[in-house]
């Protein structure tokens, strides 16, 4: 942490603070103003919905970032836990009439527990085998359990929409895009703050120790099975929150949203953003979403002149995403967060180069 | 690094310039329409032809006076049958392109968007004929241009029962032995489109005295359905219903023939087209199915225009590869045009105005072999007359038409609306 | 009993194709340690390439040969362009590069060939089925089995009796030692990828012949992963047996399990089965057992 000159901390509490200088505090205030006031007031409904998608991507990717970036467990089945969260909250609201906050909590807990179930093999297997187990979790949960069995609850079928007015936080009904946006900002902020704080505690340090060298961690007395399962739980809970948020923005839930491709997508997001960094999650989500929206903007006007382009656009999108991941990993393996740090250092250290 | 950024900036500038250079409709009044299509996703086997048809039909409308002189400006977008994409695209249509109405596609996303569409009062004419979209009390702004899936399914099983079970000598022994005909449904359980009419068809099966066997789950992109066919074979069905689109229906038909399932087949309208014959080959013989309008190239009013525009606008696609789907698109576009024209004449070219215009349509047909369409404020089912065809020698032949309303008037009016 | 035998036979026949693809996967892993998640898309590319050759009128055996050649070249290119720089990077990076490649390949395939189901027409193999006792077997299965076994034999022969094959075995065994003896690791990797492309390509072609081709064939390629896990990651015979086991398992679960457990169990049964095996035998049936207490 680079402190400018004449900033001296006299108490350890100041030293531990999140925002240590007035400059940083000022930046944060501006950021919140931007998010909470400027954007909702000036952005069109379309841009707000893009922002909501970014928020959803961030929430989905956070669980994966925790597992892969901070705990070293590679997981390719996260969409399953997001799905669990979505379905639990949807059913809680529709079937039992609970309010949104309670259903959110239920979703987080259910998804966390489900994630622990599939994290149990991590006590016995590592590396590739763990990847396979998480992939199996993905297929078993979404393609099988949700599709076949959850539909029996309430006789709704496994895809159903939530009529307007179902999602309530106390007296407020969440309906319009602006309201969803505020909900998104709230949830994302809470989750990021929660994660950041968690990583500062003993639990976070244990996770990082496991990531770096689990044998050494165990030798130092860290109970790696316990902490691994805890990581799966928290990651699953974050996924549950993401799922519950998703249905509030879409008012519809179907297994199609949570396929294997989405699991891979969010791993791609954190890789592009930077593994092992919370900033990275946000940057990766923003980059990918905006890149693909931008592609749309270029292609749709062109498609009036070249109809073939719009017909194959989704394939172009998929290929572009794949290429983006590969190129990032080849040339910028530390991701966007690293670039960000480099830029900040540039300004901090100017005119010196190091 | 710097140079890279300059290059990137240039490229971005070029892209934006290209986008801006696309000529705007200069000065002329336009009616903006949005169209959601699937050209690359799970239903692209039927979706591609639909998209071609929509473009051609819109061009025809513009060439023949448009909407009382106003040109249609079409925003057509492929969403790959992914519901989240559909939802963001709809929002783009609504907020950015500001369309007057939308041509929708898949059941899943149309039903997902239904609450939003009805809140936004955006008329939504979809290629999904799910019966869930036909009750104006629940979905006043959703419209369909073909008879709904549930009615189609009921008609198909009724015609098979009347023409095959009652009359065909193959089943004589069973009939006289007091055996009830056995029925199995092959469809994709998770897909809203495939599962939409299942409740209705089972209801109809029970009504006609069938014995119903275990459903078999066939994914939309299935290539290998042998285990499902073998599982069905245990039940020894007389009749199998196929609720998917052409690709997987063809796979199921081929496997049924290879494994000697020994059942007759009825297919939903989106699984029944000229491609089915090509993909399934000899396994498609004697397969019955539903079609909501004439096949491509049949001699019916306006088909000459369809062929003409197909040749003119898409010369790269040979005419023998065009499907009934093109004709369906034409019906879709012409129905919307009719509603837009009526709304415009009444001076209300807006959401509620277009909706009311739809609901004034009585016994109107665009030709193209579509039986007359009637839409009322109480019932958005566009008709009760359904034609069931069979395949003989690789060609489609009409078996019978059924008017469900005439045959079961009470049930049609009171019980069957909306599911 | 009829059903059982029918399923068993079909399972073994289809499983031979999976075994072929699994072999390709194991090769890459053994020689370079890369866990390749793009196997499904490699299968797709080969299948569509052969379909194109066939629809241009080239007779099937030549089309197959053409596919092998194209696969060989693509394998070399892929390794050179994308994977060479990753030597030494962490497991996750390498896996994700293969995932990125899988998205990329899938997008390209869908762009070029579309996503509709395509069939080899006229059919390559005669369509009448053969009856062996009370079992009905489509001829296409038999021929695919023959082709797959032939290729397997060729590849195994290649390993045991040619210089390059021995070089690959050496690199897989102990890379340092092989390097010190003058084996070029880069060439070995390139060759591994080339063979994987070829094997997957033929596998895809055969699968496409059986049922028709569309994008979902890529998913069948993903089934290779449970196969290699079952057989043990490092073991070539394990991969072959694993492939066949998966073929049998798929068929059985599709027919039997779907009565107890409704829905398309067929697709997830291999994965579920794999998880169960992993709990008891984490290294598969033949894998090298590394004592790692977790």
The token pair that represents B174 in the structure block? 């069973």
> Which residues of chain A does C275 touch, with a Cβ-Cβ cutoff of 8 Å?
121, 132-133, 136, 140
Residues 6+ apart with CB under 8 A from C292: A126
B251-276 confidence digits (pLDDT tens)? 899 888 888 888 999 999 998 988 88
CB spacing of A50 vs B88 below 8 angstroms: yes
Q: In chain B, how long is the greatest CA-to-CA distance?
A: 87
> Which residues of chain A does C267 touch, with a Cβ-Cβ cutoff of 8 Å?
139, 143
B195-249 confidence digits (pLDDT tens)? 889 989 999 999 998 999 888 888 887 777 877 888 888 888 999 999 998 888 9
pLDDT at position A231, please? 94
- Interface A–C counts its CB contacts (< 8 A) at 134
CB spacing of B230 vs C217 below 8 angstroms: no
pLDDT at position C291, please? 42
How many CB atoms within 10 Å of residue C170?
Answer: 18
**Nearest CA-CA distance, residue C112 and chain B, Å:** 11
C44-63 confidence digits (pLDDT tens)? 898 899 888 888 888 888 88
CB spacing of A256 vs B83 below 8 angstroms: yes
Confidence of residue A346 (pLDDT cuts 50, 70, 90): confident
Rounded to whole angstroms, the Cα distance separating C281 from C8 reads 24
DSSP B38: -
| B51 closest CB neighbour out of A143, A162, A311 | A311
User: Is pLDDT at A318 greater than 90 in this prediction?
Assistant: no
Percentage, residues of chain A above pLDDT 90: 28
Mutate to test the interface with C, among A77, A79, A136 (most CBs of C within 10 A): A136
Q: Apex CA A259: angle with CA C108 and CA A165, to 5°? A: 125
Mutate to test the interface with C, among B37, B48, B223, B283 (most CBs of C within 10 A): B223
**Nearest CA-CA distance, residue C283 and chain A, Å:** 8
| B231 closest CB neighbour out of C10, C210, C255 | C255
Given CB atoms, is A147 within the 8 Å cutoff of chain B?
Answer: yes
**Nearest CA-CA distance, residue C76 and chain A, Å:** 17
pLDDT at position B24, please? 45
A272 or C88, higher pLDDT: A272
Helices (H), chain C: 2-32, 39-55, 60-78, 91-113, 139-161, 163-173, 175-180, 185-211, 217-222, 224-231, 236-252, 258-260, 265-280
Buried b (16+ CB within 10 A) or exposed e, A309-337: bbbbbbbbbbbbbbbbbbebbbeebbbbb
- For A205, counting Cβ atoms within 10 Å of its Cβ (0-12 exposed, 13-18 middle, 19+ buried), the class is middle
B124-126 and B142-144 strand pairing = parallel
The token pair that represents B409 in the structure block? 């008037």
CB spacing of B78 vs A298 below 8 angstroms: no
User: Is pLDDT at B27 greater than 60 in this prediction?
Assistant: no
CB spacing of C91 vs A128 below 8 angstroms: yes
Rg (CA), chain B: 22
Mutate to test the interface with A, among C96, C253, C262 (most CBs of A within 10 A): C96
C window 205-224, beta carbon within 8 A of B: 207, 210-217
Rounded to whole angstroms, the Cα distance separating A315 from A200 reads 42
CB spacing of C294 vs A132 below 8 angstroms: no
Given CB atoms, is A339 within the 8 Å cutoff of chain B?
Answer: no
- For A178, counting Cβ atoms within 10 Å of its Cβ (0-12 exposed, 13-18 middle, 19+ buried), the class is middle
Selection from A261, A334, A103, A234 nearest residue B42 by Cα: A261
How many CB atoms within 10 Å of residue C181?
Answer: 10
Given CB atoms, is A329 within the 8 Å cutoff of chain C?
Answer: yes
Rounded to whole angstroms, the Cα distance separating B59 from B66 reads 9
A97-118 confidence digits (pLDDT tens)? 778 888 899 999 999 999 998 8
Confidence of residue B56 (pLDDT cuts 50, 70, 90): very high
> Which residues of chain C does A129 touch, with a Cβ-Cβ cutoff of 8 Å?
229, 278, 282
Are the beta carbons of B142 and B121 closer than 8 angstroms?
no
Beta-bridged to residue B142, according to DSSP, are B124
**Nearest CA-CA distance, residue B222 and chain C, Å:** 7
A354 or B241, higher pLDDT: B241
Given CB atoms, is A202 within the 8 Å cutoff of chain B?
Answer: no
C1 or A76, higher pLDDT: A76
* E strand segments, A157-316: 160-161, 168-169, 172-173, 252-253
Per the omega criterion (within 30 degrees of 0), is the bond before C122 cis? yes
> Which residues of chain B does C141 touch, with a Cβ-Cβ cutoff of 8 Å?
none
Phi–psi pair at A171, nearest 5 degrees:
-85, -10
User: Is pLDDT at C188 greater than 60 in this prediction?
Assistant: yes
User: Is pLDDT at B16 greater than 60 in this prediction?
Assistant: no
Give partners of C (≥3 CB pairs < 8 A).
A, B
Mutate to test the interface with C, among A329, A332, A338 (most CBs of C within 10 A): A329
Confidence of residue B289 (pLDDT cuts 50, 70, 90): very high
Phi–psi pair at B131, nearest 5 degrees:
-65, -20
- For B104, counting Cβ atoms within 10 Å of its Cβ (0-12 exposed, 13-18 middle, 19+ buried), the class is buried
> Which residues of chain B does C217 touch, with a Cβ-Cβ cutoff of 8 Å?
223
Long-range contacts of the stretch A171-174 (C-beta < 8 A, 24+): A174/A100, A174/A248
The token pair that represents B159 in the structure block? 């015609």
Rounded to whole angstroms, the Cα distance separating C87 from B72 reads 56
The token pair that represents C137 in the structure block? 């077997």
A10-65 confidence digits (pLDDT tens)? 888 888 888 888 888 888 899 888 888 888 888 877 788 888 889 999 999 999 99
C contact set with A (CB within 8 A): 35, 82, 85-86, 89, 91-93, 95-97, 99-108, 110-111, 225-226, 229, 233, 261-265, 267-268, 271-272, 274-275, 278-279, 282, 292, 294
Confidence of residue A332 (pLDDT cuts 50, 70, 90): confident
Q: Residue A77, SS3?
A: coil
Give partners of A (≥3 CB pairs < 8 A).
B, C
A window 63-92, beta carbon within 8 A of B: none
Query: Chain A residue with minimal CA distance to C230?
Result: A129
Interface predicted TM-score (ipTM): 0.81
> Which residues of chain B does A292 touch, with a Cβ-Cβ cutoff of 8 Å?
none
A338 or C237, higher pLDDT: A338
Least confidently predicted of B83-97, B170-184, C123-137: C123-137
pLDDT at position A308, please? 60
* E strand segments, B100-223: 101-104, 124-126, 142-144, 182-187, 211-212, 216-217
C292 or C242, higher pLDDT: C242
3-class secondary structure per residue, B224-288: CCHHHHHHHHCCCCCEEEECCCHHHHHHHHHHHHHCCCCCEEEECHHHCCHHHHHHHHHHHCCCE
Rounded to whole angstroms, the Cα distance separating B332 from C108 reads 32
C121-140 confidence digits (pLDDT tens)? 777 777 667 777 777 777 77
> Which residues of chain C does A69 touch, with a Cβ-Cβ cutoff of 8 Å?
none
CA separation (Å) from C31 to B408, C92, C191?
70, 18, 10
- For C58, counting Cβ atoms within 10 Å of its Cβ (0-12 exposed, 13-18 middle, 19+ buried), the class is middle
Are the beta carbons of B321 and C114 closer than 8 angstroms?
no
Q: Which of B221-225, B286-290, C96-100: highest mean pLDDT?
A: B286-290
> Which residues of chain C does B278 touch, with a Cβ-Cβ cutoff of 8 Å?
121
DSSP B179: P
> Which residues of chain B does C259 touch, with a Cβ-Cβ cutoff of 8 Å?
214, 231
CB spacing of C6 vs B228 below 8 angstroms: no
Average pLDDT over residues A288-301: 80
| B250 closest CB neighbour out of C110, C117, C259 | C117
pLDDT at position A187, please? 93
DSSP secondary structure of C3-45: HHHHHHHHHHHHHHHHHHHHHHHHHHHHHH----TTHHHHHHH
Give partners of B (≥3 CB pairs < 8 A).
A, C
User: Is pLDDT at B3 greater than 80 in this prediction?
Assistant: no
Confidence of residue A151 (pLDDT cuts 50, 70, 90): low
Q: Write down the residue that tokens 């291999």 correspond to.
A: C270
Residues 6+ apart with CB under 8 A from C59: none
User: Is pLDDT at B26 greater than 50 in this prediction?
Assistant: no
CB spacing of B40 vs C115 below 8 angstroms: yes
Q: Residue B390, SS3?
A: strand
Phi–psi pair at B403, nearest 5 degrees:
-105, 100
> Which residues of chain A does C271 touch, with a Cβ-Cβ cutoff of 8 Å?
132, 135-136, 139-140
Rounded to whole angstroms, the Cα distance separating C241 from C144 reads 17
pLDDT at position B25, please? 43
C236 or B201, higher pLDDT: B201
CB spacing of A46 vs B92 below 8 angstroms: yes
Q: Apex CA A297: angle with CA B80 and CA A336, to 5°? A: 90
B contact set with C (CB within 8 A): 40-41, 44-45, 48, 189, 214-219, 221-224, 226-228, 230-231, 246-247, 250-251, 258-260, 278-279
Percentage, residues of chain B above pLDDT 70: 93
Percentage, residues of chain B above pLDDT 90: 29
pLDDT at position C260, please? 65
Q: Write down the residue that tokens 């936080």 correspond to.
A: A169
> Which residues of chain B does A157 touch, with a Cβ-Cβ cutoff of 8 Å?
192, 195
Average pLDDT over all residues of chain B: 86
B71-78 and B216-217 strand pairing = unpaired
A172-173 and A168-169 strand pairing = antiparallel
């Amino acid at each position: 942490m680079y402190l400018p000159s004449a900033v001296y901390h006299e108490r350890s509490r100041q030293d531990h603070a999140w925002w240590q200088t007035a400059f940083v505090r000022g930046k944060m205030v501006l950021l919140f103003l931007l998010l909470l006031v400027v954007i909702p007031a000036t952005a069109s409904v379309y841009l707000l919905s893009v922002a909501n998608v970014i928020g959803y991507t961030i929430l989905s990717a956070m669980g994966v970032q925790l597992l892969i970036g901070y705990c070293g467990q590679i997981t390719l089945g996260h969409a399953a836990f997001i799905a669990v969260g979505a379905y639990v909250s949807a059913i809680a609201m529709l079937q039992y009439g609970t309010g949104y906050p309670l259903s959110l909590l239920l979703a987080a807990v259910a998804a966390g527990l489900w994630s622990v179930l599939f994290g149990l093999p991590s006590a016995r297997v590592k590396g590739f085998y763990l990847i396979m187990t998480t992939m199996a979790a993905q297929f078993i949960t979404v393609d099988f359990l949700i599709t076949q069995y959850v539909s029996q609850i309430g006789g709704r079928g496994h895809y159903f929409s939530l009529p307007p007015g179902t999602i309530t936080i106390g007296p407020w009904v969440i309906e319009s895009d602006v309201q969803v946006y505020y909900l998104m900002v709230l949830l994302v902020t809470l989750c990021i703050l929660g994660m950041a704080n968690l990583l500062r505690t003993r639990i976070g340090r244990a996770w990082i120790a496991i990531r770096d060298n689990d044998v050494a961690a165990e030798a130092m007395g860290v109970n790696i099975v316990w902490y691994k399962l805890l990581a799966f739980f928290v990651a699953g809970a974050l996924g549950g929150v993401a799922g519950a948020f998703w249905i509030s923005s879409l008012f519809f839930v179907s297994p199609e949203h949570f396929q294997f491709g989405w699991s891979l997508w969010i791993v791609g997001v954190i890789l592009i953003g930077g593994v092992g960094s919370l900033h990275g999650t946000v940057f990766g989500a923003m980059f990918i979403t905006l890149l693909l929206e931008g592609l749309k903007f270029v292609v749709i006007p062109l498609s009036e002149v070249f109809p073939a382009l719009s017909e194959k656009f989704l394939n172009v999108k998929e290929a572009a995403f794949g290429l983006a991941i590969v190129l990032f990993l080849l040339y910028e393996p530390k991701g966007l967060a690293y670039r960000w740090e480099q830029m900040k250092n540039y300004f901090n250290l100017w005119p010196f180069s190091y | 690094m710097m140079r890279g950024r300059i290059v990137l900036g240039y490229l971005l500038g070029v892209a934006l310039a290209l986008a801006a250079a696309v000529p705007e409709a200069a000065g002329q009044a336009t009616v903006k329409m949005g169209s959601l299509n699937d050209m690359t996703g799970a239903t692209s086997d039927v979706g591609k032809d639909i998209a071609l048809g929509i473009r051609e039909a819109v061009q025809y409308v513009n060439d023949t006076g448009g909407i009382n002189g106003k040109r249609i400006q079409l925003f057509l977008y492929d969403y790959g049958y992914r519901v989240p994409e559909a939802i963001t695209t709809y929002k783009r249509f609504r907020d950015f392109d500001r369309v007057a109405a939308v041509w929708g596609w898949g059941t899943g996303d149309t039903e997902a968007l239904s609450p939003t569409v009805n809140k936004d009062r955006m008329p939504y004419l979809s290629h999904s004929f799910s019966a869930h979209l036909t009750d104006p009390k629940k979905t006043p702004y959703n419209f369909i241009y073909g008879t709904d899936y549930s009615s189609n399914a009921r008609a198909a099983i009724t015609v098979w029962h009347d023409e095959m079970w009652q009359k065909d000598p193959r089943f004589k022994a069973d009939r006289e032995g007091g055996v009830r005909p056995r029925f199995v449904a092959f469809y994709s359980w998770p897909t809203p489109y495939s599962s939409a009419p299942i409740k209705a068809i089972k209801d109809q099966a029970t009504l006609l005295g069938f014995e119903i066997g275990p459903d078999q789950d066939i994914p939309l992109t299935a290539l290998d359905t042998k285990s499902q066919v073998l599982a069905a074979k245990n039940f020894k069905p007389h009749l199998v219903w196929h609720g998917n689109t052409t690709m997987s229906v063809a796979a199921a038909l081929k496997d049924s023939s290879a494994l000697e399932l020994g059942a007759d087949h009825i297919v939903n309208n989106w699984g029944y087209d000229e491609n089915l014959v090509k993909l399934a080959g000899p396994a498609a013989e004697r397969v019955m199915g539903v079609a909501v309008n004439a096949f491509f190239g049949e001699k019916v009013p306006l088909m000459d225009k369809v062929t003409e525009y197909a040749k003119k606008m898409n010369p790269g696609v040979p005419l023998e590869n065009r499907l009934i789907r093109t004709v369906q698109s034409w019906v879709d576009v012409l129905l919307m045009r009719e509603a837009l024209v009526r709304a415009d004449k009444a001076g209300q070219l807006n959401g509620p105005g277009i909706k009311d215009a739809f609901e004034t349509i009585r016994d109107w047909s665009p030709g193209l072999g579509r039986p007359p369409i009637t839409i009322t404020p109480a019932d958005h089912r566009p008709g009760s007359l359904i034609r069931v065809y069979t395949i003989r020698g690789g060609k489609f032949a009409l078996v019978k038409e059924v008017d469900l309303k005439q045959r079961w008037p009470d049930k049609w009016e009171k019980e069957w609306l909306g599911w | 009993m009829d059903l059982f035998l029918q399923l068993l036979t079909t399972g073994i026949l289809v499983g031979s194709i999976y075994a072929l693809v699994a072999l390709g996967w194991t090769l890459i892993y053994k020689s370079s340690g890369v866990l390749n998640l793009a196997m499904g898309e490699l299968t797709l590319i080969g299948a569509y390439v052969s379909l194109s050759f066939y629809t241009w009128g080239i007779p099937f055996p030549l089309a197959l040969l053409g596919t092998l050649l194209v696969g060989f070249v693509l394998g070399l290119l892929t390794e050179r362009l994308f994977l060479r720089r990753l030597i030494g990077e962490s497991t996750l990076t390498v896996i994700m590069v293969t995932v990125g490649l899988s998205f990329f390949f899938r997008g390209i395939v869908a762009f070029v060939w579309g996503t509709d189901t395509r069939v080899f027409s006229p059919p390559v193999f005669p369509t009448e089925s053969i009856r062996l006792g009370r079992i009905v077997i489509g001829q296409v299965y038999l021929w695919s089995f023959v082709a797959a076994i032939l290729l397997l034999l060729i590849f195994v022969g290649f390993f045991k009796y040619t210089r390059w094959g021995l070089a690959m075995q050496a690199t897989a065994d102990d890379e340092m030692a092989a390097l010190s003896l003058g084996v070029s690791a880069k060439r070995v990797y390139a060759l591994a990828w080339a063979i994987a492309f070829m094997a997957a390509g033929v596998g895809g072609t055969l699968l496409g012949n059986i049922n028709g081709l569309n994008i979902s064939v890529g998913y069948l390629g993903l089934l290779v992963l449970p196969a290699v896990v079952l057989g043990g990651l490092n073991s070539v015979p394990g991969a072959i047996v694993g492939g066949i086991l998966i073929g049998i398992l798929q068929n059985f679960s599709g027919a039997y399990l779907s009565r107890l457990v409704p829905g398309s169990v067929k697709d997830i049964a291999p994965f579920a089965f794999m998880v169960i095996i992993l709990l008891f035998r984490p290294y598969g049936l033949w894998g090298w057992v590394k004592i790692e207490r977790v």
